[in-house]
Amino acid sequence: MFPTFQTISDVDSWLNTLDSETQQKLDEFLIAQALADTRPDESDLAAWLKHYFPDHYDRPFAQSQYECFGYALKIQPGEYFEPICLCDPRGLGKSTVVEGIGVWLLATRRRLYWLITSETDEQALKHQASVRKMLESPRLLADYPHLRPRVQSARKTLEAWSSEKLIC
């Protein structure tokens, strides 16, 4: 049976009786609940990106980025969509927005995979590192647990991130 508490001190005393593993599980549960209560609408891509990746998207979005969001929102599972080419000036955040849209496509299960191309291996590895950081976000994983790396049933081994692929 769950204890009842009269004061905050009673709660603190009870928490101090828990072992560290139980405390950690309780903390994770409470954090997940708090984050779930503030989960943004998946159809507001700008708000979704700023919610899950506030450090990544800390500037206002440009009009062309909102146009990309509108395009992405039209993508539906199992349906063909016409690829697009982004032609904005350097520094406007084309790659940053595309990385976020790709993670959103995976999170919302609109796509099982996506492709971003780069001119050089160095650029590609930077994009991959950025996407990896996004996919490892505790806030994102709390709401989208299917993005966690998983055990492959055929090999019975945990699929690890590599310099060539990210598997969720």
Q: Is the pLDDT assigned to residue 18 strictly greater than 90?
A: no
68-74: average pLDDT: 92
Determine the distance from the C-alpha atom of residue 81 to the mean position of all C-alpha atoms in its chain, rounded to a whole number: 23
Q: Is the pLDDT assigned to residue 168 strictly greater than 60?
A: no
pTM: 0.69
Buried b / exposed e across 106-136, counting CB within 10 Å, b at 16+? bbbebbeebeeeeeeeeeeeebbebbeebbe
DSSP H stretches of helix in the chain: 8-16, 20-37, 45-52, 63-73, 94-107, 121-135, 138-143
Q: What is the share, in percent, of the chain residues with pLDDT greater than 90?
A: 33
Among 126, 131, 138, CA closest to 105: 131
Mean pLDDT of the chain: 81
The pLDDT value recorded for residue 47 is 94
Q: Is the pLDDT assigned to residue 24 strictly greater than 80?
A: no
Q: How far apart are CA 127 and CA 123, in angstroms?
A: 6
The answer to whether residues 37 and 145 touch, using CB atoms and an 8 Å cutoff, is no
pLDDT tens, position by position, 100-120: 999 999 999 999 888 878 888
